Chains A and B, each alone.
Chain A
């Protein structure tokens, strides 16, 4: 019994150490954002702010259009995520439960698309956006991202466990394929959809290069790009940079903390069958 207590103590010690390592950068940045520039740049640095100041945040308020960037990011990301959630379920359903020739081939191709790196297609994709006049429009961000090979793959995997008999029964009752998809497959795959949503949300949220290239107006720009623009412009004002970075992270972390149970449950309950 004693030995078990010791082991438990050690495990907790290690875990707490890891937690500290994990959140230390956030804490340090947050603390630094309340320091004056002189204190940040000092030869002998401090950890805790000596002169607690809110100036950095007040300064940033007018220069960093945080709310605008954040709202834009949220709008684009949510739209993409919803679309991907739907197309993935549709694709997974058709490729797992559909009965048509070449099904395996199509699935193989979809899998193959996951291996195509962004840099192979980004240049021509950019020219394409030019040709169809989508530069500086959200459609350039949303439409090309609306189908995800990864999402279809995850969905197909998870639907293997959905018994065919259940769908068959509905069909015999005269349900159309759409009904089966919307009323049976969707509700039954809630967890798998949730995990796709989580992945997709993250990927769209932190996407940098594509929005940077296709969006021109500052008012339409997304958060990741806005943050880098801000950093480029005020590169000598460290206090301001810390504050801007902090406010670009805090809402994300807050959203995560609020929804973390759904977040992690969704992730845990789907993905790969052990």
Chain B
């Protein structure tokens, strides 16, 4: 009896599962027969002309992969579909870590999306599967700055829509509770350390309950900037070999460790993720890149926070303030079918010529727009992170799209030092050698020596 029941249940489950598997959500797409929509042409130089047919007006569905900002991209996709009722764009969001495992493989085998977000740290895994933009180089150069760095054999596969960098985020309530005001915003790292001490709280048992500064999980993005401040280049003169195994990197590592262990402004065991701990109101300051601003707004709307520029070794203007990175526009699959590529090309044009969309994205990630029409935009200028960064923009260094392995390895080196109690110098040497080994066969060439003030920096190890 029981067995029969089991079998029936199983069969029912299978049936349900079957039904579930079956109803693929096909939207009922219309056939588009009017090419002349009487719509305006968008853009100054990079132009988007809506008055054509996509895929000859036949219904078509394409995929668009993103790892974040799904609603912004969906908005752009929806307004694109409004122009072309026969086109449906499916926005698929995958978390960062899985995104880079799946996307290259999916592109390689032709099952990937027609268009997708790119991060330049993954350049080498993707570049073989990209289709160049069919936008004239002159047009791109007329509308965007920094296009030159992306030209490969006279074509571009993606460019930057802006630059992102780091700043210090602080909790305003904690700031006030510690008796601090705006004039206490630290300019140097020494001032920073003493402010951090004031923001640190212990309970009666001597247990840390509020960290003045927390950098757990994100040392990787901080250390390179600290090196630049002291004029230390990342790469050797051959522009390809990583050279992080030097005394300045060791010094900076030690500086970070001392903040915790000597000054007691935080702990490696308190708030294991800096970004979360700040959001939970348990850490008073964190060093974060532009993307974090919106993350805070949407995940922790109750926290009152402010932003200030990274402190420097002394009150003098440093050789550089920090590193920046170019944030990439969309990629077009070179392995998708022609019809999908046609849609993707049009979509990229739409995106690139659409100031509103571009601006929304820049504000979302606190990015200085590369698009010339947006440089002096009031909203961009008023953004708190931009305000903090603006005075230093001239002195930010771009090392180029270095492979992601460098950041992963830097974090591992840091963990080896603080958690596994290994010596800084030895770990750096080993870690550097590992990265160099991993990057063998890579075509990466750094652009850090094109920095305007490169002459002021150490040019040797």
Contacts and interface: CB of A to CB of B under 8 A. Distances in A.
B14 A74 contact: yes
A218 interface: yes
Contacts of B300: 236
Interface string B1-32: 01100100010011011101100110000000
A232 interface: yes
Nearest to A67: B20
A68 B21 CA distance: 8
Contacts of A212: 98, 101-102
Contacts of B18: 75
13 contacts: A41-B280, A41-B282, A68-B20, A75-B17, A78-B10, A78-B14, A130-B108, A212-B102, A228-B98, A232-B97, A232-B98, A233-B95, A262-B2
A261 to B, nearest CB: 8
A79 B393 CA distance: 59
A236 B295 CA distance: 10
Top 8 nearest A-B pairs by Cβ distance? A232-B95, A75-B17, A71-B20, A71-B17, A130-B109, A41-B280, A233-B95, A135-B111
B102 A216 contact: yes
Given A212-B101, A233-B93, 19 more contacts: A41-B282, A43-B282, A68-B20, A71-B16, A71-B20, A74-B13, A74-B14, A78-B13, A78-B17, A136-B111, A212-B98, A216-B111, A219-B24, A231-B95, A232-B98, A233-B95, A235-B95, A259-B6, A261-B2
Contact of B21 (A72, A130, A213, A259): A72
B280 A74 contact: no
Interface string A131-173: 0000110100000000000000000000000000000000000
A75 B21 contact: yes
A97 interface: no
A177 interface: no
Interface in B210-264: none
Nearest to B208: A43
Contacts of B93: 233
B88 to A, nearest CB: 15
A237 B102 CA distance: 24
Interface residues of B, number: 37
A229 B95 contact: yes
Contacts of A219: 24-25
A221 to B, nearest CB: 11
A236 B299 contact: yes
B326 interface: no
B129 to A, nearest CB: 13
B108 to A, nearest CB: 8
Contacts of A41: 280, 282
Contacts of A130: 108-109
Nearest to A238: B276
Contacts of A259: 6
B299 A43 contact: no
Contacts of B20: 67-68, 71-72, 75
Interface in A50-76: 67-68, 71-72, 74-75
A54 B21 CA distance: 29
A236 B278 CA distance: 11
Given A232-B96, A232-B98, A259-B6, A72 B279 contact: no
Interface of B: 2-3, 6, 10, 13-14, 16-18, 20-21, 24-25, 92-98, 101-102, 105-106, 108-109, 111-112, 209, 275-276, 279-280, 282, 295, 299-300
Given A71-B16, A74-B13, A236-B276, A218 B109 contact: no
A59 to B, nearest CB: 13
Given A43-B282, A213-B105, A237 B299 contact: yes
Contacts of B275: 236
A78 B15 CA distance: 11
Contacts of A43: 209, 282
B335 to A, nearest CB: 11
A43 B94 CA distance: 32
A72 B94 contact: no
Nearest to B10: A78
A215 to B, nearest CB: 10
A66 B301 CA distance: 27
B95 A216 contact: no
A216 B65 CA distance: 11
A262 B20 CA distance: 28
B209 to A, nearest CB: 5
Nearest to A237: B299
Contacts of B24: 219
A164 to B, nearest CB: 28
Contacts of B109: 130, 135
A226 to B, nearest CB: 11
Contacts of B111: 135-136, 216
B25 to A, nearest CB: 7
B346 to A, nearest CB: 24
A246 to B, nearest CB: 20
A240 B101 CA distance: 25
Contacts of B282: 41, 43
Contact of A229 (B17, B94, B295): B94
B6 A262 contact: yes
Contacts of B92: 218
Contacts of B10: 78
B25 A75 contact: no
Contacts of B6: 259, 262
Nearest to B302: A38
B164 to A, nearest CB: 20
Nearest to A41: B280
B280 A229 contact: no
Contacts of B106: 135, 216
A253 B276 CA distance: 32
Contacts of B299: 236-237
B110 to A, nearest CB: 9
A138 B18 CA distance: 12
Contacts of B108: 130
A231 B95 CA distance: 9
B184 to A, nearest CB: 25
A72 B98 CA distance: 20
A229 B209 CA distance: 32
Contacts of A231: 95
A21 B14 CA distance: 35
Contacts of A68: 20
A219 B22 CA distance: 10
A259 B276 CA distance: 41
A131 to B, nearest CB: 9
